[in-house]
Amino acid sequence: MENLTDDQLLDFLDGTGHETEKEEIKNAVIASDVVKRRMQALEAVHRYLKRQHGLESPSKNFTEKVMAGLHSKTSFAFLSPKNGLLLLLGLMVASGIAIPLMSSGAFDQWHTFFTLGQVPIKNNWVKLPASIPFDLKVVVKLFLILNIIVGFVLLDRTILRPIFQKRAERFI
């Protein structure tokens, strides 16, 4: 009788159920190793649950706390203030190095062409140009623009937003 359910085995452990069913379960445990292992696992769980002293009850104002929490705004802080400040400092250092290099003309001579003649793509479907120009000065300009954008976002998230939230909480 290996098709016993866990409910039947738990009823047996609780001492509930019919006498004929109890005898069938005893015989199944003796006859089958699978049922015996399931019974041992359920006995361990059953002993653990018996040692517990009833269900824990929530605090008296649990419902009010949950209901009040439903209407509060959650802040999605993806960076801790410390990590945000470190990242902002890193962006400032990278921009501080790139801007003087750019203004001194360090990237003016860094341009080349990538030839695409050796790319193994069928030219029937995709028409490729013979070469693509690459200018490092344009790349550095894009890098600086992205640094400025990310820097403003980090400034807002890590410094300005917490300051203005504290001010707003004082007036509420």
Least confident span in 16-20, 59-63, 73-77, 116-120: 73-77
pTM of the model: 0.45
Give the pLDDT score at 145. Answer: 94
pLDDT digits over 118-144, tens only?
666 666 666 767 778 888 888 889 999
The mean per-residue pLDDT over the stretch 3-30 comes to: 85
Q: Is the confidence at residue 1, as pLDDT, over 60?
A: no
Label residue 89 by pLDDT band (50, 70, 90). Answer: very high
* Run of H or E residues at 131: strand 131-135
Distance CA 152, CA 115 (A): 38
Label residue 100 by pLDDT band (50, 70, 90). Answer: very high
Considering all CA atoms of the chain, what is the largest pairwise distance in Å, rounded to the nearest integer? 95
Q: Are 28 and 4 in contact (CB under 8 A)?
A: yes
| Residues constituting the chain | 172
Tokens of 131: 């070469």
